């Protein structure tokens, strides 16, 4: 297979496995998605989904969030980790949304990335999942699989995102980044990996990866 054939095989397989694609983080609108994605940094979606209902019961919009103190937010979100930084970020960005954006989450990468504790990946998730703007957020699963499939050298998230956007059709970015995440969790995890079940890697994977695992 050449590179184009491999890309087509990956897309086709992912679409067959995930014709409907669940959103990993529970949310009801762009603001609650933004907060959930911020909380997910160096944590798990499962853990975040246990904490956000508690937080959102007290504050699910910027106005109510700024009524809480940073300490109160921190106490609620402690289980997801990095709570000192995340609590300041949540309080700070909520204040900015009220002051500069009429309490609404802005629909631009530049405005999102100016918010406290919001980096490019978080902005990309919000743009893709809340507003339907083509983006390709790269998490650890995508980084791992793009390397295993020989689609990127895996040296940096920036390079992986660039390679993904170059290889995959733009109209499929928003679906594919989620499909790859689910595939990575279910068929190609970092630990406990069974290459027999991982049909995409087994079929198109990097030769050095396959050789290392006896294929």
Q: Pick the closest to residue 44 from 85, 89, 88, 82 (CA basis).
A: 82
Dihedral, CA atoms, 90, 177, 134, 205, nearest 10 degrees? 140
What count of other Cβ atoms lies within 10 Å of the Cβ of residue 185?
13
Structure tokens at 42: 């160096």
Rounded to whole angstroms, how far apart are CA atoms 94 and 44? 23
- Residues that are catalytic: 121, 139
Q: Pick the closest to residue 89 from 107, 114, 108 (CA basis).
A: 114
């Amino acid at each position: 297979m050449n590179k184009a054939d491999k890309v087509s095989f990956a897309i086709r397989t992912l679409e067959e496995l995930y014709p409907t694609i669940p959103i990993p983080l529970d949310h009801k609108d762009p603001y609650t998605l933004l907060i959930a994605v911020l909380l997910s940094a160096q944590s798990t979606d499962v853990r975040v989904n246990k904490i956000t209902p508690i937080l959102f019961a007290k504050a699910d919009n910027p106005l109510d969030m700024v009524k809480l103190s940073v300490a109160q937010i921190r106490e609620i979100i402690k289980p997801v980790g990095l709570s000192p930084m995340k609590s300041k970020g949540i309080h700070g960005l909520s204040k900015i949304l009220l002051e500069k954006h009429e309490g609404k989450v802005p629909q631009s990468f530049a405005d999102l990335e100016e918010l406290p504790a919001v980096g490019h990946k978080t902005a990309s998730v919000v743009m893709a999942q809340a507003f339907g703007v083509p983006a390709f957020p790269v998490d650890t699963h995508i980084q791992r699989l793009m390397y295993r499939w020989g689609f990127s050298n895996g040296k940096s998230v920036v390079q992986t995102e660039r390679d993904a956007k170059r290889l995959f059709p733009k109209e499929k970015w928003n679906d594919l980044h989620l499909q790859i995440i689910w595939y990575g969790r279910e068929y190609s995890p970092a630990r406990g990996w069974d290459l027999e079940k991982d049909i995409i890697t087994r079929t198109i994977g990097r030769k050095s990866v396959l050789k290392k695992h006896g294929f």
